[in-house]
Amino acid sequence: MIKKHGPDLILTDIKMPKKDGLTVLREVQEFDKDIPVIVITGFATIESAIDAMKAGAYNYLPKPFTLDQFRLTVERAIDQIKLKEENRALKSQMQESNSHNTIGVSAPMKELYETICKVAKSEANVLILGESGTGKELTARSLHSNSPRSCRPFVAVDCVSLPDQLLESELFGHEKGAFTGAYASKPGLIELANTGTVFLDEIGDLSIGLQAKLLRVLQERQFRRLGGTSLINVDVRVIAATNRDLKGMLKEGTFREDLYYRLNVITLNLTPLRERFGDIPLLVRHFCRQFSISQGKVLGISPEAMQVLENYPWLNP
Ligand SMILES: Nc1ncnc2c1ncn2[C@@H]1O[C@H](COP(=O)(O)OP(=O)(O)OP(=O)(O)O)[C@@H](O)[C@H]1O
């Protein structure tokens, strides 16, 4: 009954035919410590009251009791539940609002938040390494929003999605007539990120030619638009990310060593979720809430499923 209905509060007698109230209390405690149990006892000995309180009862009611006493005890227990729920909601809000909705309370995530706080303040370029989906862009956004540049632009560039010439024009911009189809002048993303942060995602996929051009911008803090003659000054902080093995690429000669050292002033290694299972319940809650908002309907996980998830052995290896 308890598992099926998830009661807010349980009142149990102590002397009952098949199972005594203290056993019920212990079982409830094992199932969910937060359900308050009020033990009703007709044998109001101090010992049974102490046993019940030791076993985790919220309170006890010695028989006979008046309706007012009964109501007061129940109301107090309910107030306590409300407080606990408010606390829990606040706690999870705090965890979830941590750095740009980056969810996670596992040791690697805590370490990441600490590093983000330290590194964000500096002007140094950062290289974020991690498998696909480990939150590299999220981390880059957190670095930016915790930095002194937070009120300035954050511009993300996906280095893998475009053919070389288009990417070059996206990065550096072009003047009218620079190539067929360049009907008007257009500033590049690096120019748009001026005074802010530029996030170069999948930097390992940048061609050797564009690596050389990017290096020049990083060294000289100046560049020309495609087809342009005048030099444009930029002040950008660069955060780059990749899931590729850049060190291996250095050896193969497919990634420039000088660019690597420019970008890699500080390295952040992101831990994949399979090495931090403990974050799964929080992420499940977060995505349910996110999808509920975007789908316009309430999606949730039943308390029973959440319980199973939280107690699943591989979550606490
Ligand atoms: N710790 C986390 N908390 C909340 N959401 C996360 C977390 N990690 C990743 N995500 C979500 O997972 C998705 C992928 O994250 P993100 O784009 O930052 O990863 P990535 O490492 O840059 O991926 P890719 O290599 O594919 O570009 C995003 O929707 C992001 O919001």
233-277 pLDDT, tens digit per residue, is 999 999 999 999 999 999 999 999 999 999 999 999 999 998 988
First-to-last alpha carbon distance for the chain, in angstroms, is: 30
pLDDT given for residue 93 in this prediction: 47
Ligand 1 midpoint to CA 152 (Å): 23
pLDDT given for residue 203 in this prediction: 95
127-156 pLDDT, tens digit per residue, is 999 999 999 999 999 999 999 998 889 999
Quick one: pLDDT band at residue 96, thresholds 50, 70, 90? very low
For a substitution probing ligand 1, which of 99, 136, 138 has the most ligand atoms within 8 Å of its CB?
A: 138
158-204 pLDDT, tens digit per residue, is 988 788 888 999 999 988 887 877 778 888 999 999 999 999 999 99
Cα separation, 31 vs 217, whole angstroms: 60
State the pTM of this model.
0.68
Task: Tell me the average pLDDT across 204-221.
Answer: 93
- What domains can be seen in the chain, in order of their start residue? 2-97 (3.40.50.2300), 107-274 (3.40.50.300), 276-315 (no CATH)
Is pLDDT above 90 for 46? Answer: no
The structure tokens 């006890």 sit at 60
Does ligand 1 lie within 6 Å of residue 104's CB atom?
Answer: yes
Q: Which residues contact 144 (CB under 8 A, 6 or more apart)?
A: 120, 150, 154, 196, 197, 199, 237, 239
Cα separation, 112 vs 131, whole angstroms: 15
Cα separation, 25 vs 12, whole angstroms: 8
pLDDT given for residue 100 in this prediction: 53
Ligand 1 midpoint to CA 128 (Å): 12
Residues β-bridged to residue 242: 129
What atom of ligand 1 comes closest to residue 109's alpha carbon?
1
Does ligand 1 lie within 6 Å of residue 243's CB atom?
Answer: yes
The structure tokens 């007698």 sit at 13
